[in-house]
Structure 1
């Protein structure tokens, strides 16, 4: 199975807005359905069935909503990644030990005390020499960075074809193909001192060795060896799947390799088995004697673990990288010496050599820190250069900060702006007066009043004779914005229209005509706004709500409808600082960090199935006081694979069994727009007391009278999404409640949910969500402009990111052209485009 091609197809589909792209032979969904319908037979049955289930989902892709497509694509990417990783691990378990070819002349610096660095004197076997370290390499006149991998020692044409599957064509490609992990086998331990969970190397003599066919699995051969040292003995096992391993000749050969009395070094992860401690999938090498040198690429050293694909074995990559290492001497240092000294960074040659084959843990940490810094630094430098370029552009819309429309709007508002809202309005109005187009992100927690702030900007554009566009990711949210704006614009005698995929053809043509003539000042809509027929007469302001749900190209297409219009983006999903720097390092950011007065904190509780009756009692009490209730579920229909409540099934049960005395509505993504509007209208107007819904209710449904939200299977949602859902209640003056129903036994899952009990702060919650699940999951989709780092982690490397941002700002202050650092400028051009896939430069 071509994992890379599948992942690329999923990435492109997400980048282009989940529109089921048309390929040369098939549509995207057809390609996925056909490919996953017949998974590789070597995969376990469970994994095969999981891929077939995904194939069935893609066969009905055209019927899914935008959000459901997002979730399916994201889930598929995660499943494929996990399946590929499992396949790699199994492939490594089947590899035979390959002896390491002698390190070439270019490798220098032995490090004979590596094993002693991590072990205490009582647990170390100090006499045995560990493998020669590969810290730095001398110049090689034979190798060049652009040379084909075919000519490296031990590679050849066949292995070059295999490496090409990983995108590795040249020596430079290999040097920058970083390991995804390292296993530290450098520490030597006596057998009696083995501790489960540690990765170690032990030295001992072979007591006995046998190889036999498994009596239970006809395709499996089992290798067993007993090794002893002066402190005890241990039984080691390896398993080989395949016909050739069942041959008597191969099995006898293995036994001859390890005769009784032979001295061996064995490395692996210590596990506690039924027969005592052992090493999981041990790597074994025969050495001359106790204290002899270990020459293996795996045994007794820090071993690099590379990302692999089908048909490419780990040792092929390791040997190729080893052969390429002498060429690191040709790498030029792009960072100025002063910068490296200030931030304590090792040189690029040392970093590249040690990220692959570090002599010990400290060298690996220093190498990784330098390379992570580089990834962050060039991204931040690129974002700052982009902001500089934007500020040099001239906008056609230079807008006055005051005017009749804005004054009248303030007069009709039934409330005063909060201090935070007024501060952000001032930021925006100041931007609108500049000749450079505004590019500002407004972050605000659920219910903080971002829409009102956006309306002030829209009115500033309209009163100056320009048009404005407001784009939202879903029809529900676009409809909600439209309703609010109609209520505010009618008293101002301004027209506003709504354009979505459900807009009738005649109405659509009228909107197009009014836009083109300039008769329509404001258009609200979904992705329909970026279609080609939509042409503005004089677009001066673009407002994008929940902007992280749109791809970079989608946002750019809307901006291209005008002549360098001002851009205001908004999000109700608070983003941690590290994520904001990575995604929006080129934007000016304003934060509405204050809720309107009178709002009470939402009382949040995590409940088990045993406490369900308490939840129902609370609902009855609230409804008796004239309040309303949301019940949210993760699925539309019952799933055969998962024991989850579905919205339809639960709606019927609640209506017929639990709450027959109340009117209950149903809302989910597969309903037509008219059906959704009807369900929301009935709930908004109080005709239904309970609304059973999927996550389509997450944004856009604003019913101040709703005071209770019950979320079933809460462990299936991310914290940021739960916080968004919770924001549907607590929008009035009455005390509101959020009940998180979960039957999970996972302690980690329960700890996640407890965060919501303890905090109402969206920024803190999103930070915790990122730590638990990763940045891509916090954003809801990987295709949101998030760079694909090779090494850097936004969770683990926050301190390095902050230093890299500081360094980039300093460099831009000293020389915005970067001409004084030509190597750094050249590296920026290469890295920035590669890291962002070119899309951020659109």
Structure 2
């Protein structure tokens, strides 16, 4: 048996198996062995039902049956009851005052039950047991139903992710058969031995043995550490190669005159924060280097990212390209150019307006290109205003260098948009602007532009290092002076009336408000959109008829077209509506200074980082902002998590808190990213991620094309197909 062999060669697979394995992307023996357990069960404390005694605390595994809800004969109190069978005997299970449990679980379902044994003889039962659903019963390793007693000390067994057609038990037994066939000796460890030794990782053979068949929990933990490192390492190698490709390309070396930049900053109506100054210094230093800059600027809403973008853009457009004057036409166009890309049309327009404010005192032309039209500043007839122009005219001016700053949406990367000397690309809230898009913005053979990607999404450091491993990170971790803190209140069940009265008062005073409807988790994206849409429309109707009867209320949701969304946002921006009821589509949103209140329904369904971003919608103005996080949950854990909203200093603290308490999979979605659950969990370990990043960069420096590391090259190539870190 070889790792590359098809499973079909060694195992009889029926149609259900084949379909299930294909769904899990398992074709070869190697694929099977890399289908790692999702967790482990310790069966050392398991009792058999036949051995239970009255008064004892029991932990039993078995199958449920006979579930029903009824009322007690005398007291009439509601009861859920059924029985649990483990192959040795059967015991009654009863829950008092929790009749809904009879519907929550199903007859035939496997569970782990923990509870007190009450009653005697044939009247014995488990009282109010806690149930943990199981995909299957433990592997046969114990006495009674766990019949295989030769490994009585092996009390830890793996539980695998199942799909219809293959069970956790099937995975375990199939893996054991592969081990018996001696396949482990045929595996070649792709991770260099010096890295294995440096971080005291298990070798591949040992790690595979221990992760599928641990004698003790330490074995499983050590094996998981090895595979977590391996997964993050491959991602970091891919990112290091992307970075190396950018570094190898020629770029514009921009020498900045410090006095000119300081003069530009001096005109700002506010002082820069230390974080903003540090960010500008880092970017300007990158400009003067030999390689194209690749940098991520991360900062809370309102931390001043646009000022950093404008200052660094000024440094670029006041610099000359290497060839200087355009001798052919005798026209002195040809300063370096900047492309600024925003996620939505309305946001692109706002950036255009902001840049006009920053540059209006200078003879620098600014263009705007969106799906619905093109503008240029300044207008020939009025130097204080922009003018609408044809796309053809704008494209001509961009191509010959007469317009050095072009702001737009994805229209920027259309083939019809050609720059003369594109030296700097700024991306706002794209989360991922890959090398392909960057190449799309540059002419063949032209120098690679510097890249600044900006985001207000608070990202834990480990995730930044992984997802944006090819980018250097700059944090804007302080807010400008005078920025009002959002007054955040957690609203529990039946506490909404005072909140509504407050918002009514704010609306009466001429302010505006957002109402965010809870996210509805639904595996089918179409159904999710439909449910979220229904939620928004029904909530808007309820508020219109029962709460804010005098207010103009609009709705915004994911099923709208971009132009519909822009139209609704423009109405809200122009104060033609008072309340905007929306899904979380507003989190990457527009600057509406008059909106000072945000109500977030079902707050427990959002991550803290997302709540923080939503809250950021109301800090743009000069009035005191308010955020109401509404939850129906009575759970202490939920209350503690939401309390962090009002205690954390900034979004970065919240994102780290969320990572620890909710996990990266829930935060960023392993389905969307292509990372495994293990890879997602690895993101909690900063040292591991930093080590993987350092080793990957060293490897790529010494072997840029991975000619000496073919196994790693194969893994990285496969990763490129499955990893989606947009």
Give the deviation of 1:566 after TM superposition: 0.7
Q: 1:722 aligns with which of 584, 603, 611?
A: 611
Q: 2:30 aligns with which of 155, 172, 177?
A: 172
CA 1:391–1:344: 2 relative to 1, 3 Å? same
Task: Give the alignment of 1:21-170 within 5 angstroms.
Answer: 143-152=1-10, 154-155=11-12, 161=18, 163=21, 166-170=24-28
Stretches of structure 2 that go unaligned for 5 or more consecutive residues are 70-82, 94-109, 118-122, 320-334, 375-387, 521-526
Residue 496 of structure 1 is matched in structure 2 by 366
Task: Give the alignment of 1:470-509 within 5 angstroms.
Answer: 470-503=340-373, 507-509=390-392
Residue 72 of structure 1 is matched in structure 2 by none
Q: Partner of 2:618: helix, strand, or coil?
A: coil
Distance 1:284 1:365 in 2: 20
CA 1:781–1:409: 2 relative to 1, 3 Å? farther
Cα deviation, 1:88-143, whole Å, max 9, x if unaligned, reads xxxxxxxxxxxxxxxxxxxxxxxxxxxxxxxxxxxxxxxxxxxxxxxxxxxxxxx3
For the 8 Å contact 1:268–1:283, the answer to whether it is kept is no
For the 8 Å contact 2:519–2:605, the answer to whether it is kept is no
Residue 269 of structure 1 is matched in structure 2 by 112
For the 8 Å contact 1:381–1:809, the answer to whether it is kept is no
Distance 1:575 1:590 in 2: 12
For the 8 Å contact 2:92–2:124, the answer to whether it is kept is no
Distance 1:411 1:571 in 2: 26
Q: Over aligned residue pairs, what C-alpha RMSD do you find?
A: 4.6
Distance 1:643 1:309 in 2: 28
For the 8 Å contact 2:477–2:650, the answer to whether it is kept is no
Residue 691 of structure 2 is matched in structure 1 by 806
For the 8 Å contact 2:603–2:630, the answer to whether it is kept is yes
Distance 1:835 1:675 in 2: 37
Q: Partner of 2:479: helix, strand, or coil?
A: coil
For the 8 Å contact 2:141–2:155, the answer to whether it is kept is no
Residue 277 of structure 2 is matched in structure 1 by 422
For the 8 Å contact 1:669–1:696, the answer to whether it is kept is yes
Task: Give the alignment of 1:700-739 within 5 angstroms.
Answer: 700-739=589-628
Give the deviation of 1:725 after TM superposition: 1.7
Give the deviation of 1:589 after TM superposition: 0.8
Q: Partner of 1:816: helix, strand, or coil?
A: helix
Distance 2:363 2:300 in 1: 31
CA 1:614–1:287: 2 relative to 1, 3 Å? closer
For the 8 Å contact 1:149–1:320, the answer to whether it is kept is no
Give the deviation of 1:449 after TM superposition: 0.3
Q: Is 1:318 aligned to residue 172 of structure 2? A: yes
For the 8 Å contact 1:598–1:733, the answer to whether it is kept is no
Give the deviation of 1:350 after TM superposition: 1.0
For the 8 Å contact 1:715–1:744, the answer to whether it is kept is yes
Give the deviation of 1:588 after TM superposition: 1.0
Cα deviation, 1:191-213, whole Å, max 9, x if unaligned, reads 34798785779xxxxxxxxxx99
For the 8 Å contact 1:186–1:200, the answer to whether it is kept is no
Give the deviation of 1:353 after TM superposition: 1.3
Task: Give the alignment of 1:299-310 within 5 angstroms.
Answer: 301-310=155-164
Residue 765 of structure 1 is matched in structure 2 by 654
Q: 2:296 aligns with which of 441, 456, 473?
A: 441
Distance 2:669 2:318 in 1: 37
Task: Give the alignment of 1:448-597 within 5 angstroms.
Answer: 448-464=303-319, 465-503=335-373, 507-548=390-431, 554=437, 557-558=440-441, 563-597=447-481
Give the deviation of 1:456 after TM superposition: 1.7
Cα deviation, 1:520-550, whole Å, max 9, x if unaligned, reads 3222222222233333232211111113266
Distance 1:686 1:832 in 2: 51
Cα deviation, 1:226-275, whole Å, max 9, x if unaligned, reads 73xxxxx75499xxxxxxxxxxxxxxxxxxxxxxxxxxxxx972355996
Give the deviation of 1:621 after TM superposition: 4.1
Give the deviation of 1:595 after TM superposition: 0.6
Q: 1:598 aligns with which of 482, 499, 509?
A: 482
Residue 94 of structure 1 is matched in structure 2 by none
Distance 1:177 1:560 in 2: 44
CA 1:657–1:439: 2 relative to 1, 3 Å? same
For the 8 Å contact 2:571–2:577, the answer to whether it is kept is yes
Residue 111 of structure 1 is matched in structure 2 by none
CA 1:665–1:151: 2 relative to 1, 3 Å? closer
Residue 329 of structure 1 is matched in structure 2 by 185
Q: Partner of 2:481: helix, strand, or coil?
A: coil
Give the deviation of 1:582 after TM superposition: 0.9
Distance 1:288 1:768 in 2: 43
Q: 1:340 aligns with which of 196, 206, 215?
A: 196
For the 8 Å contact 2:401–2:419, the answer to whether it is kept is yes
Give the deviation of 1:497 after TM superposition: 2.9
Q: What is the number of residues matched between the two proteins?
A: 644
Cα deviation, 1:431-490, whole Å, max 9, x if unaligned, reads 111221000111111100001101122222222212221112222322221221233333
Distance 1:224 1:199 in 2: 9
Distance 2:404 2:716 in 1: 38
Task: Give the alignment of 1:370-381 within 5 angstroms.
Answer: 370-381=226-237
Task: Give the alignment of 1:249-260 within 5 angstroms.
Answer: none
Q: 1:789 aligns with which of 639, 652, 676?
A: 676
CA 1:835–1:320: 2 relative to 1, 3 Å? same
Distance 2:604 2:631 in 1: 6
Task: Give the alignment of 1:177-216 within 5 angstroms.
Answer: 177-185=35-43, 189=47, 191-192=51-52, 198=59
Q: Partner of 1:512: helix, strand, or coil?
A: helix
Distance 1:449 1:286 in 2: 61
Distance 2:170 2:147 in 1: 26
TM-score by length of 1: 0.66
Stretches of structure 1 that go unaligned for 5 or more consecutive residues are 1-142, 202-211, 217-221, 228-232, 238-266
CA 1:355–1:286: 2 relative to 1, 3 Å? closer
